[in-house]
């Protein structure tokens, strides 16, 4: 039996879960999420716990057991607390600002890059720090990765967009040879 799959998911106060096969709907103070799950895995909502059980010990159901439990745990945490990812914009003249439902990124190109903010995600900017928040863990991570992909940090000067917790492995620049380097 899956060590992760057999653990119950605790449902905090203020969060409700409703299972109508094959869909689980979770509502909380931050919002609501619903997701369909594959056949072979059943979900039981019992009081303040959610239990995940598999129908048989087939290979597919064993693989899905822990994954379904992890997805449910992410849903419950998202509607209870929400998720947040921070990005840093590093570089001279690099900046970000929110205008309406879009994020403008000034990254050294001739024009600012316009990134439309998806539904269910909120973005705030404080100087060089971009904060992405939402209830869906997957969507928050996806948006952060898309923003970072516009200008990933480069290893020589460290300019670009990086995760706040990320460390950039720096490289030494080109070394000059003393006494010239050409033919004589």
Q: pLDDT digit string (tens) for 49-72?
A: 999 999 999 999 988 999 999 999
Strands 102-106 and 95-99: antiparallel
Cα–Cα distance measured from residue 95 to residue 130, given in angstroms and rounded to the nearest whole number: 10
Q: 111, 126, 114, 123: which is closest to 85 by C-alpha? A: 123
Mean pLDDT of 149-169: 93
Report percent pLDDT > 90 for the chain.
Answer: 78
- Number of H helices and E strands in the chain, helices first, is 2, 13
Q: 115, 89, 113: which is closest to 103 by C-alpha? A: 115
Q: 77, 81, 64: which is closest to 9 by C-alpha? A: 77
- Decide if pLDDT at 96 tops 90: yes
pLDDT grade for 176, boundaries at 50, 70 and 90: confident
Q: What is residue 182's predicted lDDT score, i.e. its pLDDT?
A: 58
Cα–Cα distance measured from residue 26 to residue 32, given in angstroms and rounded to the nearest whole number: 6
Centre a 10 Å sphere on the Cβ of residue 179 and count the other Cβ atoms it contains: 4
Mean pLDDT of 150-162: 94
Structural domains present in the chain? 9-80 (3.90.930.12), 83-163 (3.90.930.12)
Cα–Cα distance measured from residue 144 to residue 149, given in angstroms and rounded to the nearest whole number: 9
Mean pLDDT of 114-133: 95
Residue 149 is encoded by which pair of tokens?
């992909």
Cα–Cα distance measured from residue 107 to residue 151, given in angstroms and rounded to the nearest whole number: 7
Q: What are phi and psi of 105, to 5 degrees?
A: -115, 120
Cα–Cα distance measured from residue 170 to residue 63, given in angstroms and rounded to the nearest whole number: 39
Q: What is residue 184's predicted lDDT score, i.e. its pLDDT?
A: 57
Q: What is residue 10's predicted lDDT score, i.e. its pLDDT?
A: 94
pTM: 0.86
pLDDT grade for 90, boundaries at 50, 70 and 90: very high
Complete DSSP assignment for 107-157: -SSSSPEEEEPPTTEEEEEETTEEEEEES-HHHHHHHHHHHHHTSPPPTTT
Range in 14-23, 61-70, 102-111, 170-179 the model is least confident about: 170-179
């Amino acid at each position: 039996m899956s060590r992760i799959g057999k653990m119950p998911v605790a449902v905090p106060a203020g969060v409700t879960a409703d299972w109508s096969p094959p869909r689980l709907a979770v509502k909380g103070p931050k919002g609501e999420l619903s997701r369909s799950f594959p056949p072979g895995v059943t979900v039981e909502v019992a009081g303040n716990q959610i239990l995940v059980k598999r129908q048989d010990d087939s290979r597919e159901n064993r693989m899905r057991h822990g994954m379904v439990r992890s997805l449910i745990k992410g849903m419950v945490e998202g509607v209870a607390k929400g998720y947040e990812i921070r990005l840093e914009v590093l570089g001279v003249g690099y900046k970000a600002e929110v205008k309406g439902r879009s994020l403008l990124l000034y990254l050294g190109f001739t024009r600012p890059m316009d990134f439309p903010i998806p539904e269910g995600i909120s973005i705030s900017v404080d100087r060089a720090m971009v904060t992405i928040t939402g209830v869906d863990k997957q969507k928050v991570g996806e948006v952060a990765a898309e923003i970072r992909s516009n200008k990933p940090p480069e290893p020589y000067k460290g300019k670009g967009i990086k995760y706040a917790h990320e460390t950039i492995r720096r490289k030494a620049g080109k070394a000059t040879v003393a006494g010239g380097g050409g033919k004589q």
